[in-house]
Copies of this chain bind each other. A is one copy, B any other.
Amino acid sequence: MEATGVALIGLGTVGSGVAQILISHGDRIARRAGRALQLRRVIVQQVDKSRSLQLAEGLLSDRLDDLINDSSISIVAQLIGGLEPARTIMLAVLESGKDVVTANKALLAEHGPELFQRARELGRSIAFEAAVAGGVPVVTGIGQCLAANQIISIQGILNGTSNFIVTRMMSAGISYQDAVSEAQQRGYAEADPRLDVDGSDAAQKLALLSQLAFGTHLNWRQIPRTGIEQLDIQDLQYAEQMGYRVKLLATATLESAGLEMHVSPTLVRRGRPLAEVGNSNNAVSVVGDAVGRVFFHGQGAGQMPTSSAVVADLIDTATGRSLQTFQHLPLWSSDEQPISITPASAHRGRYYLRMMVVDEPGMMATVAQALSHHDVSINSIFQPESSLPENPQQVNLIIMTHATTGGSIKAAVEELEQSPATVSECILMRVLD
């Protein structure tokens, strides 16, 4: 069978990994795709930059037209980040009649509706397994393998940087800032890690998975999100003592009123597979109405795991599977009934609540009353001995609630923070049992 011409746009970390697999393992890829995938063009910004990867003479170009006008290229792996010029380039590639593979979740989360519609109109496909959870096949898992199911919930650890930071805080007993520095030194975090640690990256990935699973038509910014920047090592340790691990969890749950979605640090009960996901790994736990719970776990980022997903998409596109899948994915398509998002105030769940209180007679009654005013019922209370020798009157009080709504707990926290018994802001986290 004739070889399929492939091109790359971008030769950074992932681009180099993909090129390496295509070049070093051409035989393997050819067997699995039923035809050779031949790398015919790599578009970069600077052709003469020195690179460790040796490519054949003439493969590199800094002119997109060398790719667009080459009819021998039918699949393009677009491996550059950011929104522009990534969007314009992807549209141009689609217009030229080529199929696209991408790992750029920010681009899809932002411009997915436009890009997917245009691809559909043109009879082309966009494959994006690498855009969510790197090497862990959750896009195929949800979009194809669980296609018989109504998905009921998705719970994911989708940001490897955040997971590395909370894992290190706990294992090394260090502060958030020290863990961030270590993540930066090891290359797990950018110089500006904001989008990773504030929950935006996880929200973008959750939006993509939710569109696959539920046909939601939402902008990722609509997803309520709390990051890990305010996490205190104390709370991680108290959680551990009570049998939980703190994880930055991205969840979408189908409820009768609609879809409950959020990204937030969450106490996950030990023994649950999600609680045991360490370092920079990613994991997704999906519940379907037929299949029950399915759990996927692996490396969510990094050069070769991400390249593994990109090359799988290249093979899928070359065999024609991607196009068949793409045509029927409920991604920004008008075929599926979109499900509405329930307001955060209506979400029910358990909460972890920590506050610094003045340890004097009546304090506990004041706290209990404030909670009771808002129908928040206490499941357990834990008051460790004062850790402030200079101020033994101030003690930490940790409360685990029974299930309550986001609105009730928020109102209770507001009342508590205004109460004279409380001398700090309340730390509030969700609980997953």
Residues of A bordering B, CB below 8 Å: 17, 21, 25, 28-29, 31-34, 129, 135-137, 140-141, 144-150, 271, 273, 276, 288-299, 302, 304-305, 307-312, 315-316, 319-321, 324-325, 327-328, 330, 335-336
Contacts and interface: CB of A to CB of B under 8 A. Distances in A.
A122 B167 CA distance: 53
A108 to B, nearest CB: 19
24 contacts: A28-B148, A32-B328, A32-B330, A34-B324, A135-B294, A137-B141, A137-B294, A140-B144, A144-B312, A145-B309, A148-B308, A148-B310, A148-B315, A271-B276, A273-B297, A276-B276, A291-B298, A291-B309, A294-B298, A295-B295, A296-B297, A321-B321, A321-B324, A321-B325
A297 B144 CA distance: 17
A102 to B, nearest CB: 16
A133 to B, nearest CB: 10
A292 to B, nearest CB: 5
B147 A315 contact: yes
Contacts of A273: 273, 276, 297
B148 A129 contact: no
Contact of A327 (B28, B34, B290): B34
Q: How many copies of this chain does one complex carry?
A: 2
Contact of A298 (B292, B305, B315): B292
Contacts of A330: 31-32
Q: Which 3 A-B pairs have the closest CB atoms?
A: A148-B311, A137-B145, A291-B308
A165 B133 CA distance: 34
Nearest to A137: B145
A169 B92 CA distance: 62
B146 A291 contact: no
A408 B392 CA distance: 63
Nearest to A320: B324
Most buried by B among A140, A276, A291, A325: A291
A130 to B, nearest CB: 11
Nearest to A324: B319
A19 to B, nearest CB: 12
Contacts of A328: 31-34, 319
A139 to B, nearest CB: 9
Given A34-B328, A273-B297, A290 B307 contact: yes
Contact of A307 (B148, B276, B315, B327): B148
A298 B294 CA distance: 4
Contacts of A25: 148, 150
B146 A294 contact: no
A335 to B, nearest CB: 6
A32 B276 CA distance: 33
A147 B296 contact: no
B294 A148 contact: no
Contacts of A288: 135, 308
A319 B144 CA distance: 11
Given A31-B335, A273-B273, A308-B288, A296 B294 contact: yes
Given A144-B312, A294-B297, A295-B296, 19 more contacts: A17-B290, A25-B150, A29-B147, A31-B335, A32-B330, A34-B327, A34-B328, A140-B144, A141-B141, A145-B312, A147-B315, A273-B276, A290-B307, A291-B298, A292-B304, A294-B296, A295-B298, A296-B296, A319-B324
Contacts of A34: 324, 327-328
Contacts of A311: 147-148, 290
Nearest to A329: B32
A145 B327 CA distance: 19
